[in-house]
Amino acid sequence: MDEFRTLLDAWGADAARWPRERQADAQALLASCEEARLLLADEAAFDALLAALPEPTPGAALMQDILAIPRTARQDGKARGRWFSILPALPRFAGLAAATLLGFYIGTTSLFQPAQSMAADAETVNISDYVFGEGIDAGSVDGEAAE
Amino acid sequence: MKPSWEMTGLAMDSMRGAPRAGAADAAALNILSDQALMQRVGRGDEPSYTVLVERHLSRNLGFATRQLGDRAEGEEVVQEAFLKLWRGAANWQPGGARFTTWFYRVVLNLCIDRQRKRRGRQVPIDDAGDPADQRQGADADIHDRQVSRQIDGALAGLPERQREAVSLCYLQGLSNKEAADVLQVNIKALESLLTRGRAALKQRLGHLRNELTGVTP
């Protein structure tokens, strides 16, 4: 009887769940013992109580979201695919970017160079003004005018 | 004798290796086994995926909700599980675990991840797993809902492993071997989990049991 009680405590009243090696003894006890039958009925009521617990009904929104997974996954895959597709061209892009930067640098430094030389020329002119006196050109112009 | 699904044109297509995605109608797909559907999903067949969702969503939502004691988290878990199904179907091995066992295992692992993240936060029995929104519709009897609520509360109060074992065997209807496979334990360990879980439930639901069976304590 204790063995039968142990069997019911674990597996419940459904004989299909009972381990095969213990089924014959259990069935023999049930056939001969009223107390065993009462125990079984009690366990069956408990099993029914658990089995009657309703399954939740999935809402329409959840169903929609889950059914949309293939489309969403495909779109993600395409987006990732587009990103990965530029990977082989990355060295070329890097070369182009480096060339652009270098060109910009050279271009920038060249722009400063003429500006500096212009400033130097302007200074030279000013110096020449000092050396040859003011109004040399103007003087000639003046001279011409005088003539 | 071969199962009927193996004799259908769909199954023959499937064995030849390249059915066009979405070519079969839902009625024809409904007779296919889960394993056959998974093979088709692995080739990107959306209608087969839809049939699997219709077959397994409700049960797995119930299982996840009861493990986590929270409907919203249960819904997130089943969404993640179906995403894994879609992405992993191409590597599905028909000779391996049964689909049901494999998918319950996916759902259970996602539940365990979440339980680990919130470890330390005990769910009080009275607050756990409100099943009120699980039972929708005008015909939902108040008494039945109260009974369900108490059973869900008692389940939520069980230690995780016992709750998993009880849910899989008594609520989800898995065989002993399937439940043991999902839990990755042997039958002896499953028996121990069930004995302790069942005893705790009986203790917590004793009044309910007497009320329903008409037994006076």
In the prediction, which pLDDT does A118 show?
Answer: 46
Domain ranges of chain A: 2-51, 95-147
* A145 vs B54: CA distance, rounded Å: 107
Average model confidence (pLDDT) across chain B = 80
CB contact under 8 A, A17 and B136: no
Taking CA atoms, A33 is separated from A1, A12, A30, A37, in Å, by: 9, 18, 5, 7
In the prediction, which pLDDT does A101 show?
Answer: 83
Give how far A87 is from chain B: nearest CA, Å: 24
**Average pLDDT rounded to a whole number, residues A31-45:** 93
ipTM of the complex: 0.73
- pLDDT at position A91 over 70: no
In the prediction, which pLDDT does A81 show?
Answer: 57
A24 or B1, which is more confident: A24
Question: Which candidate from B86, B151, B215 shows the least CB-CB separation from A73?
Answer: B86
Question: Which candidate from A47, A51, A55 shows the least CB-CB separation from B59?
Answer: A55
Contacting residues of A for B151, CB less than 8 Å apart = 49-50, 53
Q: Is residue B207 very low, low, confident or very high in pLDDT (cuts 50, 70, 90)?
A: confident
- pLDDT at position B160 over 90: yes
Nearest to B130 by CA among B76, B66, B75: B66
CB contact under 8 A, B134 and A57: yes
- pLDDT at position B101 over 90: yes
- pLDDT at position B3 over 70: no
- pLDDT at position B67 over 90: yes
**Average pLDDT rounded to a whole number, residues A16-32:** 93
Most confident of A54-58, B2-6, B207-211: A54-58
* A11 vs A60: CA distance, rounded Å: 36
In the prediction, which pLDDT does A2 show?
Answer: 87
In the prediction, which pLDDT does B209 show?
Answer: 66
* A71 vs B35: CA distance, rounded Å: 22
- pLDDT at position A5 over 50: yes
- pLDDT at position A129 over 80: no
In the prediction, which pLDDT does A55 show?
Answer: 84
* A18 vs B9: CA distance, rounded Å: 40
Instruction: Tell me the pLDDT tens digit for each residue of A46-66.
Output: 998 888 888 889 999 999 999
Architecture of domain B30-119: Orthogonal Bundle (1.10)
Domain ranges of chain B: 30-119, 140-217
How many percent of chain B have pLDDT more than 70? 72
Question: Which candidate from A6, A49, A52 shows the least CB-CB separation from B205?
Answer: A49
Q: Which CATH class is domain B140-217?
A: mainly alpha
In the prediction, which pLDDT does B110 show?
Answer: 97
- pLDDT at position B13 over 60: no
* B108 vs B11: CA distance, rounded Å: 31
B122 or B89, which is more confident: B89
Nearest to B56 by CA among B45, B68, B48, B66: B48
In the prediction, which pLDDT does A75 show?
Answer: 78
Give how far A46 is from chain B: nearest CA, Å: 7
- pLDDT at position B211 over 70: no
* A96 vs B34: CA distance, rounded Å: 53
Q: Is residue A112 very low, low, confident or very high in pLDDT (cuts 50, 70, 90)?
A: low
**Average pLDDT rounded to a whole number, residues B27-43:** 91
Instruction: Tell me the pLDDT tens digit for each residue of B168-193.
Output: 999 998 999 999 999 999 999 999 99
Question: Which candidate from A11, A46, A58 shows the least CB-CB separation from B202?
Answer: A46
Q: pTM, whole model, 2 decimals?
A: 0.67
Q: Which stretches of chain A sit within 8 Å of chain B by CB?
A: 6, 9-12, 17, 19, 42, 45-47, 49-58, 62-63, 65-67, 69-70, 73
Nearest to A55 by CA among B20, B34, B33, B66: B66
- pLDDT at position A124 over 50: no
3-state SS, residue B6: helix
